[in-house]
Amino acid sequence: MRNAALMLGIIAGLIGMIVGFFSYGYTELVDRHREVGEMFGFVQNPEFIRAMSFIAPLLAIAGGAMARARALWGGVLLLLSALGMYNAFGFNVFTMFPIGFAGLGGILAIAAGKPDKEVAHF
Estimate the share of the chain in helix, then strand, then coil, as percent rounded to the nearest 5.
75, 0, 25
What whole-number percentage of the chain has pLDDT above 90? 78
117 has pLDDT over 80: no
> What pTM was estimated for this model as a whole?
0.88
Tens digit of each residue's pLDDT (9 = 90 or more) over 43-80: 899 999 999 999 999 999 999 999 988 899 999 999 99
| Contact yes or no for 101/63 (Cβ under 8 A) | no
The pLDDT of residue 119 is 60
